[in-house]
Structure 1
């Protein structure tokens, strides 16, 4: 298994910058040269999740990462926490960078945002072209999604805000490790991840982040259809040991996505990008070479 990312959270942030708009400031990084890849992070983490994958792929790709509104080093107050707001942030950033064609690499909440972007593509209103899609563990089949107990509590009115206010570093460390495979986060690795998660008491906003589940309950049919009908190269890079979106989701997705390439990671949980980042980067690079 791979070690703790070679880059610290402080260095990750120092290598990035901000895009300001009326919707708030978005933190992003733009690394490397070559075919553009846009890496979209999940809940409840931030772009640092991709640090090692981004480092590897930036050797021969242009790698763009960002923190969604309300996450990491992007603005966390007075911003739009919705899936649409996050998709808008991606569109604004790529327009700012002058990137017209991308491959999307999506995970967890970033998977939902990716599906919204693909839905916009299908309706002819997306401002950039999607050349390929790489999906890491996400609830892409709504019927198979298994939220954790804490996620269910966070989604409840009133109770969710109370639960979020009581989230501690220790509780979140333990919670993330329950959905990882054999490569657990040690204290040093979680310390780095915590830097962005806790910035501005961001962990206490988890009850607002998790509202994407209510949106998914309303919109999952069009989001699933947008992904399943994507007519370009698509690949599923899947941690099978994930209790939330693992083998059970992959098995339901298989017949719905018969043309998708599939990379199975048997001892990997919900966070393939930081559990075996070398394998994930290789899968993305190999699929690009075959396209």
Structure 2
């Protein structure tokens, strides 16, 4: 009995020390790339909170396409930085927000985060920017689910803008086959999740994030630094467990959101990295082809994982823009050589 008490006492002391170290460990600085990303962005107010977004306009694009890019968990709009140069060359407007609780946006604590609220945020942003038509959604992960709710609202006739097409990257659009990683499962638990979120640090984060990338397309040290900086910004690491309620949202609204994919009349495409422990191959592409009528899907190299836009950005942007061209939304393409 004495041994157990002593062991528990030691563990409590160790946890207290770790908590003190991690809570007081200084936030990393903005890299030059992140500084440029932030300084060229904008903010708008949503429910009293500041929400960051990118709004890039191109005078050279020979079309009126607006691409709305919706990022995944736990990262931000910065996920799109590698494909942005080719976006600028080929589409008239590129809009990429940071959802509430992510990136450079506000991250309120003790907040009830939900996919429905994030979808309301997107509608508010589009109304603020006076965008109401020809919107082409490019989503990833968490952003896929927001896209599904946007599609459902358009089907219901309750969307404030018109979606012209949807292209999704790796995301848990089918809850029955979605496999959260261990860290996500732990962060969702009521007590352990609270402790883990407060003890979160660069090393834990980089190991967890690197684990969903393909074996030969790992994130660079610079990228990991920037991703962690954006999570540390405004103490975002403390709300990750709350944001993970989206996994429960997916199950609760499965009929509505999978139904939106199945019954929508707009062009729908998927670009899939098969080395993804969250949306596994061949189960995911097989399910997609089974559920989606006339399925349109590009499967990337076997080594590409959960973040195709970062792991194989040149191939992803080529596939996406060529798909838009095949649907006659774009007539000519210009790629960076």
Contact 1:31–1:63 under 8 Å retained in 2: yes
Q: Say which of 184, 189, 194 aligns to 1:151.
A: 184
Does the alignment pair 1:15 with 2:40? yes
More displaced stretch, 192-201 vs 104-113? 192-201
- Confirm or deny: 8 A CA contact 2:262 2:293 kept in the other structure: no
Choose 1 or 2 for highest CA Rg: 2
Structure 1 partner of 2:305: 269
Partner residue of 1:82?
114
How do 1:92-241 and structure 2 match up within 5 A?
92-101=124-133, 102-181=135-214, 182-241=216-275
Identify the match of residue 283 of structure 1 among 302, 307, 319.
319
Q: Per-residue deviation at 1:127?
A: 0.6
Contact 1:238/1:246, CA 8 A, preserved across alignment = no
Shift of 1:86: 0.6
Distance in 2 between the 1:137 and 1:209 partners?
Answer: 18
Q: 8 Å contact 2:46–2:121 — kept in the other structure?
A: no
The equivalences for 1:17-36 within 5 A come to 17-33=42-58, 34-36=64-66
- 3-state SS of paired residue (2:67): strand
In the comparison of the two structures, how many residue pairs are matched?
286
Q: Per-residue displacement from partner, 1:84-111 (whole Å, max 9, x unpaired)? A: 1110111111111111120111111111
Q: Are positions 1:67 and 2:98 aligned together? A: yes
Q: Deviations over 1:202-247 (max 9, x none)?
A: 1221101101111112111211101221211111100000010132
**SS of match in other structure, 2:197:** helix
Identify which range, 105-114 or 51-60, moves more after superposition: 51-60
Cα distance in 1 for partners of 2:89, 2:206 equals 31
Aligned counterparts of 1:229 and 1:133: Cα–Cα separation in 2: 13
Aligned residues: CA RMSD: 1.6
Task: Using the TM superposition, give the Cα deviation of residue 288 of structure 1 relative to its aligned residue in structure 2, in angstroms.
Answer: 0.9
Unaligned 5+ segments in structure 1 are 1-6
Q: TM (normalized to structure 1)?
A: 0.94
Shift of 1:23: 4.1
